[in-house]
Chain A
Amino acid sequence: MSRGRPGRDDSPDRLYTLTGGRSSSGSDAFDLVTLIVAECDPVPGMQSEHAAILRMSRFPTAVVEIAAELGLPVSIVRILLADLHGTGRISARHPRATTYRLPDLDILEQVLVGLRNL
């Protein structure tokens, strides 16, 4: 498989095929930093992108990291994730701070402590 930039260089037809023609996951359920965790191993016959997602998310892996590793646009990855989530093959740990307003002070304090410990 090409190690170039599949998302950018491949024909739109390939992306269309990956998602069965869908261009939207119908929800914004998966934030860029939602952490995905596989709930099962890949099984034979599974779509290769689905299998790859299950392999790379044995430990929590952000949506954006999955997109980067697959070399696919985030919007396409969201659709693939929705498929896997709908069949219970992955679970999603959503960010707790994705409100538009400022995050609570507890979270900010945790961030600050973590940064200072770098």
Chain B
Amino acid sequence: MSDQDLVVETVRDILTGFEPFALTAERRWDAGLWSALASAGLTGVGLPESSGGSGGELADAVAIVRTLAAGAAAVPVAEQLLVAGPAVVAADLTLPPVDEPLTFALGPAVTAHASDDGDGPGRFTLSGTVTDVAWSGAARHLVVLAAGAAGPVLGLIDVSGIEATSAVNLAGEPRGSLVLDDVAASGALLNSAQLEELKARYALTRAVQLAAALEQVLAWTVQYAGERVQFGRPLGKFQAIQMELAEMSGEVTAVTALTDAAVQAVERDENVVLAAAAAKVRAGAAVEVVARLAHQVHGAIGFTQEHKLHHLTKRLWSWRDEAGSELAWSRVLGAGVLADGPDGLWPALTRIV
């Protein structure tokens, strides 16, 4: 068994003790699961030990995120391991303890003012409203992309004392807003390429989660079709159902192949923005087919909270337009493949991943 398989096994073992539940105003996230993962060192995987992480590769962190996404785990691990944590480390800022949830947000309406004279990692104060904060209320720290006088700023703030609005996504995952009023931040200036790559990594994070959830929804649907008997036969014996499951498989396979390739692009640090854009767009496009057919095959029970299917389909419907909507990333990719001119499409398509 590889190290990565071992990590995945550990996450699966932990998940068996924490069934997914419908998120409510009283219970917005799974604090118990987070503690269990943190105790096992899993909330620091892929982050260097010298920064307080658990070490390991990006691929290990991706494997953890995939496993948790497939389990509809209500914890900010994806944000911490795949975007916010690596961003803090890359910017040479001090990584908060990895057992305290760290999340990520785009802050188009947040401004950063330098509060010291340095132009490297330094101190800033942040002001403005940051919206769509994943796991707001649960996360202790936030990495936010703000606008500074000298260009974009990556700001790291402690948000434990800042009240968030109660907005949630379709699955009930917190996506609240925070009003920042001269909040002290450690931070670093970003060049525009770094800014775009961080946005892309956030999008790829959602693509990784989408890929894993799509695979799980397919697996659940195949299993259900094998068990549910109507007209004296399991549903899966009907050609009409077989056609639907095969169509779902095609979508899932396409998403997995492209998402894996995009993760490898990040590992190689090549074409990160367009690779992530493509993965996010393709994964989002698959959601329509896979979620629709999964519900169709599951019938009425899948349309209720009594069946587990909704934990993932509601996440799919939200994640596809988070971290930049499918439309926004389609435009990024469409413009990106034409960057070398009107005849540049094919060279771009064979270069991106």
Say if A and B assemble together: no
Q: Which residues of B contact A (CB under 8 A)?
A: none
By a beta-carbon cutoff of 8 Å, the part of chain A in contact with chain B is: none
